[in-house]
Structure 1
Amino acid sequence: MSKNVVIIGGGIIGLCSAYFLHKEGHQVTVVDQSNLNSGASYVNAGYLSPSHIIPLSAPGVMKKGLKWMFNSSSPLYIKPRLNLDFLKWAWAFNKSCNADHVTRSAPVIRDIAVLSQKLFDEIKSTEKFTAHYEKKGLFMLCQTQKMLDEELKLAEMATVLGLEAKGVTPSEIKELEPNVEIDTIGGAYFKCDHHTTPHEFMKDMKDYLHKAGVTFYLNEKVEDLVVEKQNIKALKTNKQTITVDEVVLSAGSWSSLLSKKLGLKLLLQAGKGYRINTERNTGITIPAILVEAKAAVTPMHGFTRFAGTMEIAGINHNINKVRVEAIANAANRYYPTVELTHLEKERAECGLRPVSPDGLPYIGKSTRCSNLTIAAGHAMMGWSMSTASGLLVSEIISNKKTSLNINAFHPDRRF
């Protein structure tokens, strides 16, 4: 039965949800407070990465976070503040930083990321999208023996989970990436990973949805919900009232603010990430994570992107030049012939990634509301989990059996 579905949030998760809901025959409307041309969906590293099987909340991360708290250039910067939502999130995050959580989460992350790759392929082929998309794998480049040992263990773990991964020596890295100097003692190579140019895929998807008849209300903010007996009847924006049958909450880092109106305590913090682009030829053809620096490198269509850092400091789009400089310095340490210019650094942009305490997204319906489906909290894996998340949202609203077991993603789960 066709339903009137309104999606709050037009990032990659919202658009993929709109795509699959439209395919199911639903009437779809997307509401977004922006013009759909900026944010995390546009400035991310573009990875479709089953290799990222370790959630952000892993053993030792909180300890590192406390150590780095007073270093604004650190890979993970958690700004201390007396805010109840932040303190609840930090407590739950700390509880999740254990080995058992990693063991339980790794297969779940693998499954949704692998499904997303498959769906990305299908969408691009079926709809004849022209967005850049390559399957060249991903390097994990190390400069210290400690991190190399950890990455080799991770590659072994990934192999056990059925992913194509192996350790690589400097000479093997040179053979695969011959046109740029790399300062590394070795690393891991995840052949299972793919990469894209995000804004191109976003454009293809928006163009498709417009032509398909999906309604877009842009520069329009949802300010309130009309609720009767745990059922959303309408959304009130700053411009109009929109009646609904079903609502999808995929508003990224803003999702927890709206969920409060339903009495749902969705623990989320905004994790700011930065990107620097250079259109000069770097010689880099294979994406890489610069392990010690926690920075990412992606050869995109017409430029190379250097991205990274996780800054938990509230919802804001302030550019911290110290963190931008840290990414640029990391690029030069690992690729000595690559030096980003002052102008390239000045043009850096940021995006806010919605981070749950356990590093897993919220996908599903809360018992708080019968016609609300949540799809948020994907942290650094939003792009990697996007198409599968959209499919799952569509299956939930269409009352179909989901393609994956989504118990681990339940919005009401306890931490």
Structure 2
Amino acid sequence: MNKNVIIIGGGIIGLCTAYYLLEEGNQVSIIDKSNLSHGASYVNAGYITPSHFIPLAAPGMINKGIKWMFNSSSPFYIKPRLNSDFLKWAWAFKKSATTSKVEKAIPVIKAINILSRDLYEDIKASNAFSFHYERKGLLMCYKSDKVGEEEWKIGQRGIEEGLGVKKLTKEEVNVLEPNANLNIKGAIYFDSDAHMTPTDFMPEMVKYLKTKGAVFFTNEDVKDIELINGTISKIITNKQELKADEVVLSAGSWSPLLTKKLGLQIPIQAGKGYRINVNRETGITIPAILCEAKVAVTPMDGFTRFAGTMEIAGINHNINPIRIQTIANAAKNYYTDLNISKEEKEAADCGLRPCSPDGLPYIGKSSKCTNLTIAAGHAMMGWSLGPATGKLVSEIISEKKPSLDLNSFNPDRKF
């Protein structure tokens, strides 16, 4: 039976969900507080990352977070604050950062990333789109032997998981990237990964969805959600009231503000990331992570993007110039003679990534609300997991067997 579905949130997760719901013949409306031109879905590194199978909440991250807390240029920063939601999230993060929980998460994260990559390729092959998509893999570039050994351990685990991984010397990297002038000791190369240009894909997908009948309510803020006997009866925005058979919550870092209205506790903290675009020739053709600096580098459609940092400090879009300079310094340190200009740094932007405590997104229905499907908490993998999440949500609403086991993504899971 075709259903009338409202999607709250028009980022990559919301748009991909709309895409698959429309394929199933449903009526779809999308509400977003922005005009669909900015946010995390537009400023991310554009990675599709089967290589990123280790969740953020891994052993050792708590100690690193404490150490980096006092360094304004650190790649991972948690601002301590006396806020009950933050404190509950931090405690859940600590409990999730164990070897046993990470081991359980690894095959789950790998599987959903591979599904999503394959779905991106299906969308591209449909010939309804012209967006930039390349599968050139990912270089994990390191400058020290210690970090190289750490990355190779992850690479070896990737091989155990069936991924194609190689340990490359500096000379072997230079064969792959002859014009990038990399100043490194070596790299771990994952052939499983792909990359895109988010600012190509997002407007193209919006345009496509409109041609298929999707209705967009932009610059519209959800003020309240009316719940009657465990079922959402009404969505109240600053402009109107809407009714639907099913509601999808894909509002990213703002999702917990809305679940609270339903009496649901979905632990999510906003993790701010920054990006700098370099609109000139860099010689970079393969995406790379600059390991010691935790900076992502992506050759996009007509420019190169440098992105990085994870700053958990609440919902705000304040640009910290120290963090921008840190990304620029990394570019210069890893790529000889690559100097990011003052103008490029001044044009930097940021976005908020919704982080769950255990590094796994929330995908599924809560037992407390019959017609709500949650799709949030993807952290740094939001772009990578867009199609897979959209497909899974569509299968849930259409009452089909899901493409993956959803137990690990249960919104009601305990930490």
Give the TM-score normalised by structure 1: 0.99
Counterpart code for 1:390: G
Deviation, 1:127, is: 4.2
Residue 251 of structure 2 corresponds to 251
SS in 2 for 1:53: coil
Give the TM-score normalised by structure 2: 0.99
1:378-397 per-position Cα deviation (integer Å, ceiling 9, x unaligned): 00000111100000000000
1:265-296 per-position Cα deviation (integer Å, ceiling 9, x unaligned): 10000000000001111100000000011100
Gaps of 5+ in 2: none
SS in 2 for 1:306: strand
Residue 123 of structure 2 corresponds to 123
Give, in whole Å, the separation in 1 of the partners of 2:255 and 2:310. 19
1:188-233 per-position Cα deviation (integer Å, ceiling 9, x unaligned): 0001100000111112211100111100000000010111001001
Deviation, 1:128, is: 2.6
1:328-347 map, 5 Å: 328-347=328-347
Give, in whole Å, the separation in 2 of the partners of 1:99 and 1:130. 42
Identity of aligned residues (%): 61
Asked if 1:240 corresponds to 2:240, the answer is yes
Residue 288 of structure 2 corresponds to 288
Deviation, 1:336, is: 1.8
Deviation, 1:253, is: 0.1
SS in 2 for 1:82: coil
Residue 148 of structure 2 corresponds to 148
Residue 403 of structure 1 corresponds to 403
Counterpart code for 1:192: S
Give, in whole Å, the separation in 1 of the partners of 2:176 and 2:402. 39
SS in 2 for 1:272: strand
Alpha-carbon contact 1:180-1:337 (below 8 Å) kept: no
SS in 1 for 2:224: strand
1:263-282 map, 5 Å: 263-282=263-282
1:211-226 map, 5 Å: 211-226=211-226
Higher deviation after alignment, 182-191 or 369-378: 182-191
Residue 163 of structure 1 corresponds to 163
1:18-57 map, 5 Å: 18-57=18-57
Asked if 1:311 corresponds to 2:311, the answer is yes
Deviation, 1:113, is: 0.5
1:297-351 per-position Cα deviation (integer Å, ceiling 9, x unaligned): 0000100000010000000000011111111101111112211000000000000
TM-align CA RMSD: 0.7
Residue 260 of structure 2 corresponds to 260
Counterpart code for 1:67: K
1:88-139 per-position Cα deviation (integer Å, ceiling 9, x unaligned): 0000001111111221111101111001111101111114311111111100
Give, in whole Å, the separation in 2 of the partners of 1:334 and 1:100. 35
Residue 190 of structure 1 corresponds to 190
Counterpart code for 2:143: Q
Alpha-carbon contact 1:136-1:194 (below 8 Å) kept: yes
Residue 69 of structure 1 corresponds to 69
Residue 363 of structure 1 corresponds to 363
Runs (4 or more) in structure 1 with deviation over 4 Å come to none
Give, in whole Å, the separation in 2 of the partners of 1:63 and 1:241. 47
1:214-261 per-position Cα deviation (integer Å, ceiling 9, x unaligned): 000000000101110010011000000001110000000000000001
Give, in whole Å, the separation in 1 of the partners of 2:359 and 2:54. 9
Give, in whole Å, the separation in 2 of the partners of 1:414 and 1:197. 36
Asked if 1:12 corresponds to 2:23, the answer is no
SS in 1 for 2:77: strand
